[in-house]
Structure formats: structure tokens, C-alpha cells
Amino acid sequence: MAAKFVIKKSSDGQFRFNLKAGNGETILTSELYKAKASALNGIESVKKNAPLDGRYERKTDKSGHPRFNRKAGNGEVIGSSESYSSESARENGIESVKKNAPTATVEDETV
């Protein structure tokens, strides 16, 4: 199964997308967007800029687990990863976004 972006509508009417790897695991969850068009623009930004290592902010959550944020060119956070068990697992997650995002299909679950 190939990687895909899945757009969903939240209970408050906002939109978010997940990037899912070929195995179905979520590797990136977007921020909330007020409009579906904005979520689609976020997907295009992730696809286009996925290979740029400088757009990944490596961090540690409050529990001490490695995570990353995917940032736009203006520095805004587009999406965040799940928590990882180690820094090497986080790096694998980043590599997965770099590899999978550019060719991922888009599945719209809002219709």
C-alpha cells in the first residue's frame, strides 16, 4: 500500500490531515485549518518541501520522548509527529516523510 494524505473534518467543523505510511501508520498530523482549501495547501507544502531537512524541528516532549514538527517556509508549524521511543526512531519518521510525502495520494474523507 502506498503512502497517502487523509483529510478529515473535526467535530468543530475544522479540517486536518494525516500523512499515513504504506503500512497505515500515521507519521504526521497537521494543525487544524478553518477551510479545506487551507488544509489542501498544507498538503501541497509538505509534498513540495518534504526533502528539505531544515523544515523539520527536532524536539522532545514533556515526557522526554523525541518528536518533530514540520514547518512551512514562514516558520509556521504545518504538522507534528507522534512521540517516538528514541532519537533514531524519530529520524526514521522524518526520513519516512521525506520519502513518502512527495508522491502520496490524497484521500478526502470529508465528502
Q: Tens of pLDDT along 12-56?
A: 999 999 999 989 999 999 999 999 999 999 999 999 999 999 999
Q: Tens of pLDDT along 54-102?
A: 999 999 999 999 999 999 888 999 999 999 999 999 999 999 999 999 9
Q: Which residues pair with 75 in a beta bridge?
A: none
Domains of the chain (ranges; CATH) run 4-108 (2.30.29.80)
Q: CA-CA distances (angstroms) from residue 102 to 2, 76, 82, 94?
A: 12, 20, 20, 13
Q: pTM (2 decimals)?
A: 0.92
